[in-house]
Amino acid sequence: MSIDITLLCCPDCGGQSSLKLNQNNHNLHCTTCNNEYAYNNGVPIFLDTTTINANQVSGQQTAISSIKQALHKITRPRHHSIYFDTLESSLQNGIELDKFIQDFSNKSNVLNVGSLAKQLTKKDVNIINLDISHYNNIDVVADAHRIPIKDGSLDGIIIKNVFEHIREPIVVRDELFRTLKKGGRIYAKVPFMQPFHAVPNDFQRYTINGLKEFFKDFKVLKHGIAIGPSSTISWMLIEYFAMLFSFNTETGYKVSLRIASYLFFWVKYLDVFLRKNVRSHTLASAFYLVLEKPA
């Protein structure tokens, strides 16, 4: 489903500008500065996607045969992390994000920032997927530093596993505040103790106290450990083993990573014994917050 163009603004002109489709329906025209943006099969494109190497961005969805898919599932490395409150893989939504989405009505506009190629949908909620790469399910190709959404237009925002990859997080935080309605809510999942992972780059980590300070202009409705300390150790052991036995070669690293994932993936399940431990936050892999823009 194409995005409602009335929600969009020109990233150069700011949050009150308007965009209109040209007669050929292939371009969006800014009525303020006359900028033109590509409009490809209902997807507005505010970036030069030729400068982005999609192979550097994880989560891509590709059409492969069922046989290859089965082989890939068997031979791929075992995942290193689970949600702290469940045994569910952290590749999934998680309970807190599902609860967050369920709270919105059929008239809500919820922006999913940095959505990659993952499907994040709920019946009767308009989830707008934004990313720097043009995947099949993307609704807007844009930079989170310059979100092309009008001021105060969004009922909710999801920003999951993104802030570590952002060059200027304060700019993005202010963009979230600008585009959100008063009383609108944000679900943010942010890493603390995680190995370096460039998607396509990696810049920072956050403590829970640092997150509260970072989001001080918002009201914190809820916060907690998203991924626990045992997942942290599992991931680090896998990376450490792969690095140690890679013999400083890329092929050696990839082979060792697969072996290590089968040796150490089980460590993450020890989080079951740490859920009530008051010090679990000191080694947590990631935190989540539910925030509200003050009315």
Instruction: Of 62-66, 194-198, 238-242, give the lowest mean pLDDT range.
Output: 62-66
Q: For 188-203, how does the pLDDT look when each residue is reduced to its tens digit (9 = 90+)?
A: 999 999 999 998 899 9
**Segment 17-30 mean pLDDT:** 84
**Segment 91-109 mean pLDDT:** 91
Q: Mean pLDDT across the chain, nearest whole number?
A: 89
For 65-292, which CATH class?
A: alpha beta
- Smallest CA-to-CA distance from 37 within 54, 17, 57, 53 is with 17
Which two three-digit tokens encode residue 60?
């891509």
Q: Is residue 25 over pLDDT 80?
A: no
Q: Is residue 59 over pLDDT 80?
A: no
- Domain boundaries, given as residue ranges, for the chain: 1-46, 65-292
Handedness of CA 31, 37, 39, 45 (dihedral sign): negative
Q: Is residue 117 over pLDDT 70?
A: no
Q: Is residue 255 over pLDDT 90?
A: yes
Handedness of CA 178, 184, 187, 191 (dihedral sign): positive
**What confidence tier does 236 reach under pLDDT thresholds 50, 70, 90?**
very high
SS3 223: strand
Identify the helix (H) or strand (E) that includes residue 227. Answer: strand 219-227
